[in-house]
Structure 1
Amino acid sequence: MSKFDEKVAQYSKFMDDKGLSYDADLLKAVTKGLGPSIYKRDAETVSGSDAKELITVKKNFLIKKLGLEDGPQLDVAIDKVIEAIGKSERSKYRAVVYYLLAVEFGKEAIYS
Structure 2
Amino acid sequence: MHGSTNDHAIRNDVYVTHKTPAIKKWLLAHPRFHLHFTPTSASWLNLVERWFAELTQKKLRRGVHRSVQALERDIRSWLADWNEHPRPFVWTKTADEILDKVAAYCRRISDSGH
Question: Over alpha carbons, which structure has the higher Rg?
Answer: 2
Pairwise TM-score range, normalised by the shorter structure: under 0.3
> TM-score, normalization: structure 2?
0.26
Q: Flag the structure with more relative contact order, 1 or 2, with Cα contacts below 8 A and sequence separation at least 6.
A: 1
Q: Which has the higher helix share?
A: 1
